Amino acid sequence: MDLLLFTVDPSWGRDVVAAGAAGIVVDWERRGKARRQEGENTQINDDTPEDLSRMRAAVDGRLVCRINGYGPWTPSEVADAVARGADEILLPMVRTEEEVDRTLDLAAGRCGVGILVETQDAVDRSVALARRPLSRIYVGLNDLRIDRRSTELFRPLVDGTVDAVRATVDQPFGVGGLTLPGGGSPVSADLLAAELVRMGTDFTFLRRSFTADMADRDPFTEVPRLLDSLAALRRSEPAVVAENRARFVEAVTGRPVAVAATQPA
């Protein structure tokens, strides 16, 4: 599973990538985000075009730029991200196929284009969206929860939503975010990691929980430890996968789940 770190700190990003992470995400998304996420205790970054240039100079790994949701500003943002060396752009808050097609046309093969499925409209259109030549597809749980007017962050992982989207995607697929083994709240990172592995997740994000948990820790020790824990989960026997799934569902819903009911048909 590829790990992509949100950061604009060149030294930190360089070390985490050298330790085994796949790349860096520089986050330009902020249009309407404070209003949309007001009171939600979410992370809103203020990364700049200059940050993207600085990270390109510092890091050899894959460099991804999350731009703003589609609008009149998209042509200039795509052009700027390409000029500053982004390997991919991520288009958030997708609602229609037309938004994606226009962004692909703007990129014109000069960089990859990935999308964030974080609205109910995008969930409903996931089959059509996945037919596009996208570099990756990521399900964003926070904004999907807000769009659904829900209070439960992890509900799409237990109600079949994410599994249904996953089934439509042949491109690299991502969801959620991880921190160090033994961490994580309100659901443990170990259970979430097991769930991501169960679904065949190809990549995920390292964000503020990971950065906070890494205080005074050596990335050259901790990133390989995280990757080793994911590799161990991939080797789990079916009974262990079923048990981990049941524990995850119980942690999200507060209701015990019979292990036999979670086993694949």
Structural domain contains residue 119? yes
- CATH number of the domain that residue 217 is part of: 3.20.20.60
Number of domains the chain is built from: 1
Q: What is the pLDDT of residue 257?
A: 79
Q: What is the pLDDT of residue 264?
A: 44
Report pLDDT digits (tens) over 20-60. Answer: 999 999 999 987 665 545 454 555 568 999 999 999 999 99
Residue 260 has pLDDT above 70, yes or no: no
137 in Cβ contact with 114 (< 8 Å) = yes
In this predicted structure, which of 30-39, 94-103, 149-158, 236-245 has the lowest mean pLDDT?
30-39
Structural domain contains residue 260? no
Residue 120 has pLDDT above 80, yes or no: yes
Considering the entire predicted model, what is its pTM?
0.91
Structural domain contains residue 52? yes
Structural domain contains residue 257? no
Structural domain contains residue 245? no
Structural domain contains residue 113? yes
Domain residue limits at 62: 2-234
Structural domain contains residue 255? no
Structural domain contains residue 11? yes
